[in-house]
Amino acid sequence: MSLVRLLPVVLMIALPLAAARADDFSTHVKTRSGIVAGAVDHGVLSFKGIPYARPPVGKLRWREPLPARSWPGTLQATDYGHDCMQLLFPEDDAPIRTTPSEDCLVLNIWRPAAATQSRLPVMVWIYGGGFTIGGTSPAAYDGSNFARDGVILVSMNYRLGRFGFFAHPALTAENPNGLLGNYGYLDQIAALKWVQRNIAAFGGDPHHVTLFGESAGGGSVQVLMTSPRARGLFAAAIVESGGGRGNLMGGGTRRISADLPGLPSGESTGVNFAKNQGIEDTGPQGLAQLRALPADTVQAGIGFGAPRAAGPPTYAGPMQDGKIVIGDPSLIYRAGGQAKVPFMIGANTADIGGFGNPQSLLEVFRPFGADAAHAQRAYDPEHSGDVQALAARVGRDALMIEPARFIAATLAAQGQKAWLYRFGYVVESMRASWKTGAPHAKEIPFVFDTLTARYGTAVTAHDATVAATTHAYWVNFGKFGDPNGTGLAPWPAYSATTDELMIFQADGVAAGQKDPWKVQLDLTAQRAQNAVKP
């Protein structure tokens, strides 16, 4: 189908807000922990830095988050709370704007300043960053435009690095029947429970919560889609560049206690870290010493750009614990064990995935096995022989593009509504640099309609219109569990039979388009199936 012309901003949102009363929504809201006072700016009422759990410090380090304590008087919720401990990454597209701290379990809320006659839909954002960087304070994650379009936007911090994902024999002995290892995921679940208990006080509908996240945040959505601990906490979900085959963007295959060939357990990895700090004891005394370590010491060596330490690994990342992460989400999807909610998933045209440094085409295409020659012809029909470019395309498809299609097809085959997208629009100011498409995470300022926070005065009218269009699809999904709406190009629900998806590309939005990468993705899917061990 031919490209449709992008539509004016005034047509973007499918339905108008419910009629507002003459009075505005109160800037003071009573939560279960106490009263919070927000601030109004250009028709948006925001509340920032609201504690949803106790600070996970001291004896609460590496424990399941506990509900926030009540506070006296009124909490001024006008500034972001601390983002979680991390090593700052200067090249980050969405840099945090606070001082990182271990005391970081807070969330933010944006809603229309005007009162409404009915409860508003809620969208909860989970940031990415490889589970080692990120936070809610970046300007690109400002929820104001969601609020202006009639959605309550919530963003929450969750623990990162060794604070969020850590195991040790002493922790297991301390709490043998408890929730262990994946404290970052436990934070996300605690924040969702807070939303269920409190969002009605902000005018939101706790039965109408859409969960969405990107990269590690998208992988988190997949874990929450398949975790019994998150069941009933949201009514729809969106995964942006969140992997899916083997859950490469969250969860992984590492176990809490059991070492696997070539993959030490979370406990073994934690012991390695403790020994590096001179802590040999694996009992209560050793645990007390670990909890007494300065936050900078616990965080050291983790994050983008951090030098790799020599010796055995000292950071495990997310792991299967059997209670929060119960298995590979792709297998749970196949078995129909996921939350039965409307679902949207996709990735970017120049997404991440090309890891390693192959030196020949043989190395690039060897993983396709008997299909290697066919795959090489499909990926390199012009015989360019560009090893690194082809490796990037093959890796991108394996890590991001094909898994998104696989998940959409798997859910659709079970009768679950799913929508698939591919984001390829590149802002005009970066087209000379990003020649192969939209890199990882570059869809986010379009989703939030916050382009100027990332590109400033370089944003063109066409860029802004594409952002308004993209944002409108996400808003509609948050409102109706369906991205379609009045004035927007039709976005068909996905079916493997029709293989139609929405492609956001340089000169517009293609609606109802059959996948132009079908041949390559079919080969990638076969490669993935061949790699699955019985």
Question: What is the per-residue pLDDT across 156-165, written as a single tens digit (0 to 9) for each?
Answer: 999 999 999 9
Residues in the chain: 534
For residue 307, what pLDDT is reported? 77
Question: Is the pLDDT at 25 greater than 90, yes or no?
Answer: yes
Residues 6+ apart with CB under 8 A from 305: 87, 89, 90, 91
Share the mean pLDDT of the chain. Answer: 93
pLDDT (0 to 100) of residue 22: 46
What is the SS3 string spanning 110-130? EEECEEECCCEEEEEEECCCC
How far apart, in Å, are the Cα atoms of 433 and each of 119, 427, 428?
A: 44, 10, 10
Tokens 């304590």 belong to 69
Domains of the chain: which residue ranges?
Answer: 9-531
| Mean pLDDT, rounded, for 172-189 | 97
Q: What is the pTM of this model?
A: 0.94
Q: With respect to CATH, is domain 9-531 assigned 3.40.50.2300?
A: no
Asked if residue 243 lies in contact with residue 399, where contact means CB atoms within 8 angstroms, the answer is: yes
pLDDT at 53: 98
Query: E strands along 152-273, which residues?
Result: 152-156, 165-166, 181-182, 204-214, 236-240
**Where is 162: in which H helix or E strand?**
helix 161-164
**Which residues are catalytic, by number?**
215
Please tell me the distance from the alpha carbon of residue 427 to that of residue 145, in angstroms, as a whole number: 19
Write the DSSP symbol of residue 101.
Answer: B
Identify the pLDDT of residue 251: 66
| Phi, psi angle pair for 143, to nearest 5° | -90, 10
C-alpha to C-alpha distance for 265 and 263, rounded to whole angstroms: 6
Q: Is 507 within 8 Å of 5 (Cβ atoms)?
A: no
Tokens for 137? 């304070």
The whole-number pLDDT of residue 17 equals 38
- Apex 514 CA angle, 513 and 515, nearest 5: 110
The CB density around residue 8, as the number of other CB atoms within 10 Å, is 10
Cβ(240)–Cβ(149) under 8 Å?
no
For 399-414, the pLDDT digits (tens) are 999 999 999 999 999 9
Asked if the model's pLDDT at residue 368 lies above 50, the reply is yes
pLDDT at 493 over 60: yes
Q: 418-423 and 181-182 as β-strands: parallel, antiparallel, unpaired?
A: unpaired
Burial (CB < 10 A; 0-12, 13-18, 19+), residue 435, is exposed
**Residues 233-282 pLDDT 10s:** 999 999 999 999 875 566 668 999 999 998 999 999 999 999 999 999 99
15-24, 58-67, 386-395: least confident range? 15-24
Of 299-313, 372-386, 439-453, the least confident: 299-313
Instruction: Identify the pLDDT of residue 89.
Output: 86
Q: Which two tokens stand for residue 50?
A: 């609201």
Tokens 């990926």, located at residue: 379
Q: What is the pLDDT of residue 253?
A: 81
Give me the mean pLDDT over the 451-466 stretch: 96
The candidate with the shortest Cα–Cα distance to 351, out of 429, 409, 423, is 423
State yes or no: pLDDT of 350 exceeds 90: yes
Q: Report residue 356's pLDDT band, with 50, 70 and 90 as the boundaries.
A: confident
Mean pLDDT for 441-455 is: 97
Q: How far apart are CA 487 and CA 483, in angstroms?
A: 12
- Using CA atoms, how far residue 399 sits from 254, 255, 346, 352, 421, in Å, is 18, 21, 12, 7, 15
Percent of the chain, pLDDT > 70?
Answer: 94
